[in-house]
């Protein structure tokens, strides 16, 4: 490592506890931070000293700057924002970023900081950034994983499609399992413990947790708290936790610091005494104080959210027992079908009823809501409206009139430019606006504390505000049924009381609600209409021999597809091209076919991937035929040339493993480390970006603003809205990941080491040589023609 | 016309958020590119039936990532990297052009990059965006002459180059500029110069 660490880096495997002097003393003096574009500072002239080994719970109303203070303690304020910063923050006398990894940070959203496809590689990210020799990494990774008690279940690894990469076998104590354990297979709680392990791998002296359990169910939250308690004790760490649900943390900390709305410290002391003396003030600011009774839902005038058609009082929706199965296919066409969600009883939702879907994360609550909303067609069972129509068959207007949706990601349903319009938009699309609509919408916003923001851009709101807005926007046009995915997450006592009060008013006006929730108070409100879902068992992955192409290096795969370009360009006509295509097909079949897949499945999968290429080839042939004097031979030349160029890509490229691509780009081609890491991280999220696109499209459909082919202008607007929505989510995840990565030493990682070596194998050489064959034959044809 | 705000000095000092934003935007555009690859066939066929070089119009949306990447991050290499990642991401699930997608991405990105370099990485208004959109086209068009349009006469080839360049200016440049403004207005570019410009515009 080039930049000399300010303190000798401890030997791997040794615990901080054994250090003679305690470290982790934090001193904040006169800290002021005003992000550009805000009139008043988020933090103003803040002083705070935290002794080494102290455990602090940091609380305050939303908007008080708790998360901002955590980022300041990590030295990451300016990582994802720009603003005016003054004052000092030191950790053991130096700036927090001086020794990379001296501060560990765990963010609220599980997965926001995941950088790699496998658990072991993800934990190794910090050590890679500080240039730790590869030989020392497995020990460090194993000890960090053991500290958070993260080990794969039996089967989780065997079922993964991730190829066991060389060099992982040494991960001590895990039998190499963590090396092939995909991060995508982790539950929310496991993902948060993974983030904790990632922080521990750099042996921090200060651990910062930003609402680490806010998005988890009770069981997962408990597993995270237990892991935190254990590692903080074992390693003698200084701990600062931000949480708005204080109860479960009180026993884990010894000091409570309270911030007010202006970002100033208003109370500070031993946790129990401070809770006792400040309880009233905390309750008044909306903090969930342990032991306090549940807040009373506020009274809301039912006229604000009465459903439009009150004539019918019978069921709003009727679903039989449902099963939703998902089929995934490997690159060589082997299908695996697994049950994603199932209900064990019919679900008949009557007017005015509240039904709660409960169960651990991963039990398919959101999937069932999607099936009820008609976003997907259940594999078995039916979902029908009161009039017997299948929900999935409704047109956008019919769907919006009947069903509304409050999604888990409320930012993705935003379709309007102001908060007020956001509330009105569905009613407008359905022609339900009248003279009193705007007054009613403003009253609704007032109930939710959003009144002053009526003309603000909804995308600028905080997460909690957006969620409340989503509730208002779902109820305003008076649908018969609202499907709400975790509508109360992240709300303080006041806003919780408003949301729950509003839902109650909607019910008293005849509206029906189905909600997926972990919120114990909401579950109580549902009474005996609670439907418990259990996680369906994981399906075993395909067994048996893999195709020859599996496990080939990404560079070889890219090179193999590249070699098709000269073959296509050089081929002197359609007859030689047909010969070359024949060679390519033989190679493709021998690379794709295996014992597990047979012959038909991989060829069918290949043909599916080739459809766009075939269309392109036909269109090139068509245009050539048109202007080439309608000469069939010329058209044939164009057609076969495009196929020659495209076929090998369709065979080879889907086999690329994005993590290994990063390894090879950096270690084999010696491209700059930081961009390479960023490219793999982005490619790693490809799939989730595809899902976001779908989610935004669904949200627009159910809000009644979907495009129709009858008005082409709406199509353009629709595509533009989807693109901007996707880009916004991409930008947000990039900003979150930047914070998570810099907390693990990425900011200064100019010379990284790599957990996995990038080996070029004989198989790779053979692949490239065989891929060159058609190009060589093409050259021979050219010489013969001459 | 107000002057554009530059990226923080030194220009080559990429922050983590710069790199991640470029690659994430690239990946998001890659998904959109892939979708456009499925949807463009019908309008493209309709246009080419009228006059084959009109394919340049339906080709222009693929030039947008480089423009937007350059407009947001404003550092040397931003436009190129964004377009290359978009090409890479749209290529892997399978596109109609296979590996040549990546070559196109490099050539298009280079064109946009060149435009921002000519402007000294200091101008990012609508005119600059349209210039970058236009500049994304020529290298790509010439490359396509040799790979796809080998049987066209020169008049068609030149017409294709002109049409792709004009469409690049309007569609990739103009639309790219609109998208960047929309992202800044949504408060998503706080850490970047366009976000700062949006806030200053509001402050007035």
d(CA A106, CA A129): 18
Contact between residue A113 and residue A199 where contact means Cβ atoms under 8 Å apart = no
Write out chain B residues lying below 8 Å of A610, CB-based.
94
List the domain range (segments joined by +) for residue B46: 16-203
Encode A102-124 in three state secondary structure: CEEEECCCCCCCCCCCEHHHHHC
> What pLDDT digit, counting tens, does each position of A454-496 carry?
988 888 787 788 889 999 999 999 898 999 998 888 788 888 9
Is pLDDT at B78 greater than 60 in this prediction?
yes
- What is the enclosing helix (H) or strand (E) of B94? none
d(CA A258, CA A65): 11
> What pLDDT digit, counting tens, does each position of A573-604 carry?
889 999 999 999 999 999 998 888 888 888 88
Is A390 in the same domain as A466? yes
The predicted complex's ipTM stands at 0.94
Q: Is residue B179 part of a domain?
A: yes
Say if A49 is an interface residue toward chain B (CB within 8 Å): no
The overall average pLDDT reported for chain B is 90
Task: Provide the whole-model pTM.
Answer: 0.88
Is pLDDT at A416 greater than 60 in this prediction?
yes
Quote the percentage of chain B above a pLDDT of 90.
Answer: 62
d(CA A606, CA A214): 43
Residue recorded with tokens 């449902």: A322
Q: Is residue A314 part of a domain?
A: yes
Is A358 in the same domain as A459? yes
The residue that leads in pLDDT, A705 or A130, is A130
> What pLDDT digit, counting tens, does each position of A667-713 carry?
999 999 999 999 998 988 887 888 888 888 888 888 888 777 777 77
Write out chain A residues lying below 8 Å of B20, CB-based.
678, 681-682, 734-735, 737-738, 741
Supply the DSSP symbol for A740. H
H-helix segments, A417-478: 419-429, 437-447, 463-475
Cα four-point dihedral sign A647, A648, A654, A659: negative
d(CA A522, CA B197): 44
Lowest mean pLDDT among A87-91, A460-464, A733-737, B76-80: A460-464
Is pLDDT at B150 greater than 90 in this prediction?
no
Put simply, the answer to whether A653 touches B91 (Cβ < 8 Å) is yes
**Domain end call among A539, A565, A586:** A539
CA nearest to B68 within chain A: A727
DSSP, collapsed to helix, strand or coil, labels residue B183 as: helix
Is A504 in the same domain as A616? no
Q: Is residue B160 part of a domain?
A: yes
Query: Which among A185, A763, A669 is positioned nearest to A661, based on CA atoms?
Result: A669
Contact between residue A105 and residue A75 where contact means Cβ atoms under 8 Å apart = no
d(CA A506, CA A522): 15
Q: Is residue B152 part of a domain?
A: yes
Q: Is residue A381 part of a domain?
A: yes
The residue that leads in pLDDT, A689 or B151, is A689
Q: Give residue A174's pLDDT band: very low, low, confident or very high (50, 70, 90).
A: very low
List the domain range (segments joined by +) for residue A325: 302-539
Report, as an integer, the average pLDDT of A282-305. 86
Is A559 in the same domain as A414? no
> What pLDDT digit, counting tens, does each position of A178-216 carry?
667 888 878 778 888 999 999 999 999 999 999 888 877
Is A451 in the same domain as A561? no
Q: Which of A457, A565, A686 sits opposite B89 (nearest CB)?
A: A686
Contact between residue A83 and residue A189 where contact means Cβ atoms under 8 Å apart = no
Cα four-point dihedral sign B112, B115, B120, B125: negative
The total number of residues written for chain A in this structure: 786
d(CA A123, CA A145): 8
Using alpha carbons, list the distances in angstroms from residue A155 to A118, A161, A540.
15, 12, 8
Q: Which of residues 58-87 of B touch A (CB under 8 A)?
A: 68, 81, 85
Using alpha carbons, list the distances in angstroms from residue A153 to A145, A177, A248.
14, 10, 27
Q: Minimal Cα–Cα distance from B17 to chain A, Å? A: 5
Is A385 in the same domain as A507? yes
Quote the percentage of chain A above a pLDDT of 70.
Answer: 92
Cβ-based neighbour number of residue A182 at 10 Å: 17
Q: Which of A569, A648, A654 sits opposite B147 (nearest CB)?
A: A569
d(CA A155, CA B133): 51
Is A500 in the same domain as A585? no
Cβ-based neighbour number of residue A52 at 10 Å: 17
Q: Please list, in sequence order, all residues whose beta carbon lies within 8 angstroms of the beta carbon of residue A346, skipping any fewer than 6 positions away.
A: A318, A319, A320, A321
Report, as an integer, the average pLDDT of A648-667. 91
Q: Is residue B8 part of a domain?
A: no
Put simply, the answer to whether B147 touches A747 (Cβ < 8 Å) is no
Is pLDDT at A18 greater than 50 in this prediction?
no
> What pLDDT digit, counting tens, does each position of A447-460 carry?
998 998 898 888 87
- What is the enclosing helix (H) or strand (E) of A268? strand A265-270
Put simply, the answer to whether A653 touches B103 (Cβ < 8 Å) is no
Is pLDDT at A101 greater than 90 in this prediction?
no
> Backbone phi, then psi, for A188, in 5-degree steps?
-55, -45
Write out chain A residues lying below 8 Å of B90, CB-based.
none
Is A508 in the same domain as A560? no
Is A523 in the same domain as A594? no
Using alpha carbons, list the distances in angstroms from residue A63 to A263, A463, A491, A492.
8, 11, 12, 11
Q: Is residue A516 part of a domain?
A: yes
Is A375 in the same domain as A487? yes
Using alpha carbons, list the distances in angstroms from residue A277 to A274, A280, A282, A292.
5, 8, 10, 14
The overall average pLDDT reported for chain A is 85
In chain B, where do the E strands start and end? none
Put simply, the answer to whether B189 touches A731 (Cβ < 8 Å) is yes
**Domain end call among A539, A564, A586:** A539
Query: Which among A560, A620, A593, A622 is positioned nearest to A766, based on CA atoms?
Result: A560
> Domain containing A501 — which CATH number?
3.40.50.300
> Backbone phi, then psi, for A323, in 5-degree steps?
-130, 130
Burial grade of A303 (CB within 10 A; 0-12, 13-18, 19 or more)? exposed
**Domain end call among A508, A539, A570:** A539
The answer to whether the peptide bond before residue A255 is cis (omega within 30 degrees of 0) is no
Is A434 in the same domain as A568? no
Q: Give residue A541's pLDDT band: very low, low, confident or very high (50, 70, 90).
A: low
Say if A772 is an interface residue toward chain B (CB within 8 Å): no
Report, as an integer, the average pLDDT of A342-368. 88
Is pLDDT at A175 greater than 70 in this prediction?
no
Report, as an integer, the average pLDDT of A309-324. 76
Q: Is residue A755 part of a domain?
A: no
Q: Which of residues 586-625 of A touch B (CB under 8 A)?
A: 609-610, 612-613, 615-617, 619-620, 622-624
Q: Is residue B10 part of a domain?
A: no
Q: Is residue B11 part of a domain?
A: no
Query: Which among A113, A288, A137, A292 is positioned nearest to A210, based on CA atoms?
Result: A113
d(CA A495, CA A487): 11
Q: Is residue A699 part of a domain?
A: no
Q: Is residue B59 part of a domain?
A: yes
Is pLDDT at A159 greater than 60 in this prediction?
no
- What is the enclosing helix (H) or strand (E) of A142? helix A137-147
d(CA A562, CA A579): 19
Q: Is residue A628 part of a domain?
A: yes
What tokens appear for A469 in the block? 């807005």
Contact between residue A737 and residue A112 where contact means Cβ atoms under 8 Å apart = yes
Write out chain B residues lying below 8 Å of A685, CB-based.
24, 27
> What pLDDT digit, counting tens, does each position of A760-782 carry?
999 999 999 999 999 999 999 99
What tokens appear for A440 in the block? 């009613």
Count up the domains in chain B and report the number: 1
Burial grade of A528 (CB within 10 A; 0-12, 13-18, 19 or more)? exposed
Is A482 in the same domain as A412? yes
Q: Is residue B5 part of a domain?
A: no
Q: Give residue B115's pLDDT band: very low, low, confident or very high (50, 70, 90).
A: very high
Count up the domains in chain A and report the number: 2
Say if B25 is an interface residue toward chain A (CB within 8 Å): yes
Say if A649 is an interface residue toward chain B (CB within 8 Å): yes
């Amino acid at each position: 490592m080039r930049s000399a660490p300010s303190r000798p880096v401890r030997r791997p495997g040794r615990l901080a506890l054994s250090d003679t002097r305690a470290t982790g003393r934090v001193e904040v003096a006169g800290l002021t931070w005003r992000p550009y574009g805000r009139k008043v500072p988020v933090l103003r002239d803040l002083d705070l000293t935290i002794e080494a080994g102290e455990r602090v719970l940091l609380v305050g109303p939303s908007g008080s700057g708790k998360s901002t203070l955590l980022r300041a303690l990590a030295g990451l304020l300016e990582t994802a924002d720009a603003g005016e910063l003054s004052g000092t923050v030191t950790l053991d006398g130096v700036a927090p970023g001086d020794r990379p990894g001296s501060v560990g940070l765990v963010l609220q959203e599980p997965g926001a900081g995941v950088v790699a496809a496998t658990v072991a590689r993800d934990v190794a990210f910090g050590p890679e950034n500080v240039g730790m020799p590869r030989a020392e990494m497995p020990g460090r990774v194993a000890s960090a994983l053991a500290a958070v008690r993260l080990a794969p279940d039996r089967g989780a690894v065997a079922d993964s499609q991730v190829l066991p990469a060389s060099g992982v076998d040494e991960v001590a104590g895990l039998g190499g399992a963590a090396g092939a354990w995909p991060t995508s297979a982790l539950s929310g709680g496991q993902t948060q413990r993974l983030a904790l392990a990632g922080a521990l791998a750099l042996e921090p002296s200060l651990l910062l947790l930003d609402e680490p359990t806010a998005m988890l169910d009770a069981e997962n939250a408990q597993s995270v708290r237990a892991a935190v308690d254990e590692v903080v004790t074992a390693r003698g760490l200084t701990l600062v936790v931000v949480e708005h649900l204080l109860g479960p943390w009180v026993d884990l900390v010894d000091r409570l610091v309270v911030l007010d709305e202006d970002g100033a410290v208003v109370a500070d002391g031993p946790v129990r005494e401070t809770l006792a003396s400040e309880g009233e003030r905390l309750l008044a600011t909306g903090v969930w104080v342990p032991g306090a009774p549940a807040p009373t839902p506020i009274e809301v005038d039912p006229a604000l959210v009465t459903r439009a058609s009150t004539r019918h009082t019978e069921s709003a929706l009727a679903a039989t027992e449902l099963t939703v199965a998902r089929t995934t296919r490997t690159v060589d066409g082997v299908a695996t079908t697994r049950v994603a969600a199932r209900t064990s009883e019919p679900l008949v939702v009557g007017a005015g009823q509240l039904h709660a879907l409960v169960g651990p994360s991963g039990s398919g609550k959101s999937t069932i809501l999607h099936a009820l909303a008609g976003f997907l067609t259940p594999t078995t069972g039916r979902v029908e409206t009161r009039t017997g129509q299948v929900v999935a068959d409704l047109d956008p207007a019919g769907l919006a009139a009947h069903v509304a949706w409050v999604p888990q990601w409320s930012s993705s349903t935003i379709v309007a430019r102001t908060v007020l319009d956001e509330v009105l938009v569905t009613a407008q699309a359905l022609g339900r606006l009248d003279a009193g609509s705007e007054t009613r919408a403003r009253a609704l916003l007032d109930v939710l504390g959003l009144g002053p923001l009526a003309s603000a851009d909804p995308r600028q709101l905080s997460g909690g505000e957006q969620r409340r807005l989503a509730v208002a926007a779902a109820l305003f046009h008076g649908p018969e049924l609202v499907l709400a995915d975790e509508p109360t997450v992240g709300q303080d006592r006041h806003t919780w009381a408003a949301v729950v009060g509003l839902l109650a008013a909607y019910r008293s006006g005849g509206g029906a609600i189905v909600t997926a929730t972990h919120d114990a108070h909401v579950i109580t409100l549902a009474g005996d209409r609670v439907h418990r879902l259990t996680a369906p068992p994981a399906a075993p992955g395909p067994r048996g021999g893999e195709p020859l192409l599996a496990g080939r290096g990404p560079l070889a795969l890219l090179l193999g597809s590249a070699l098709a370009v000269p073959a296509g360009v050089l081929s002197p006509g359609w007859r030689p091209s047909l010969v070359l295509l024949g060679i390519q097909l033989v190679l493709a079949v021998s690379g794709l076919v295996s014992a597990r897949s047979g012959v038909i499945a991989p060829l069918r999968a290949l043909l599916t991937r080739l459809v766009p290429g075939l269309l392109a080839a036909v269109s090139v042939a068509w245009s050539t035929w048109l202007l080439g004097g309608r000469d069939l031979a010329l058209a044939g030349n164009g057609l076969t040339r495009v196929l020659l160029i495209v076929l090998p890509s369709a065979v080879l490229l889907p086999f690329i493993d994005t993590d290994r691509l990063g390894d090879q780009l950096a270690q084999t081609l010696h491209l700059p480390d930081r961009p390479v890491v960023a490219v793999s991280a982005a490619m790693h999220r490809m799939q989730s970006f595809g899902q976001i696109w779908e989610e935004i499209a669904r949200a627009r459909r159910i809000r009644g603003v979907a495009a129709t082919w009858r008005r082409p202008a709406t199509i353009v607007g629709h595509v533009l809205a989807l693109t901007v929505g996707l880009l916004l989510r991409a930008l947000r995840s990039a900003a979150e990941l930047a914070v998570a990565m810099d907390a693990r030493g990425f900011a200064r990682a100019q010379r990284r080491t790599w957990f996995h070596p990038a080996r070029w194998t004989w198989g790779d050489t053979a692949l490239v040589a065989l891929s060159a064959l058609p190009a060589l034959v093409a050259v021979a044809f050219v010489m013969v023609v001459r | 016309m107000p002057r554009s705000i530059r990226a923080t000095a030194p220009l080559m000092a990429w922050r983590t958020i710069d790199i991640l934003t470029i690659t994430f935007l690239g990946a998001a555009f890659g998904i959109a590119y892939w979708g456009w690859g499925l949807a463009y066939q019908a309008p493209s066929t309709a246009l080419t039936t009228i006059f084959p070089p009109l394919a340049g119009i339906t080709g222009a949306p693929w030039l947008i990532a480089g423009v937007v990447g350059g407009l947001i991050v404003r550092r040397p290499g931003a436009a190129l990297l964004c377009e290359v990642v978009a090409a890479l991401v749209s290529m892997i699930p399978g596109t109609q052009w296979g590996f040549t997608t990546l070559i196109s991405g490099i050539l298009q990105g280079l064109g946009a990059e060149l435009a921002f370099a000519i402007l000294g990485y200091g101008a990012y208004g609508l005119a600059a965006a349209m210039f970058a959109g236009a500049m994304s086209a020529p290298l790509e068009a010439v490359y396509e002459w040799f790979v796809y349009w080998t049987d066209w006469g020169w008049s068609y080839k030149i017409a294709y180059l002109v049409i792709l360049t004009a469409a690049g200016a309007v569609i990739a440049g103009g639309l790219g500029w609109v998208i960047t403004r929309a992202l800044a207005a949504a408060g998503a570019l706080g850490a970047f110069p366009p976000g700062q410009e949006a806030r200053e515009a509001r402050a007035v």
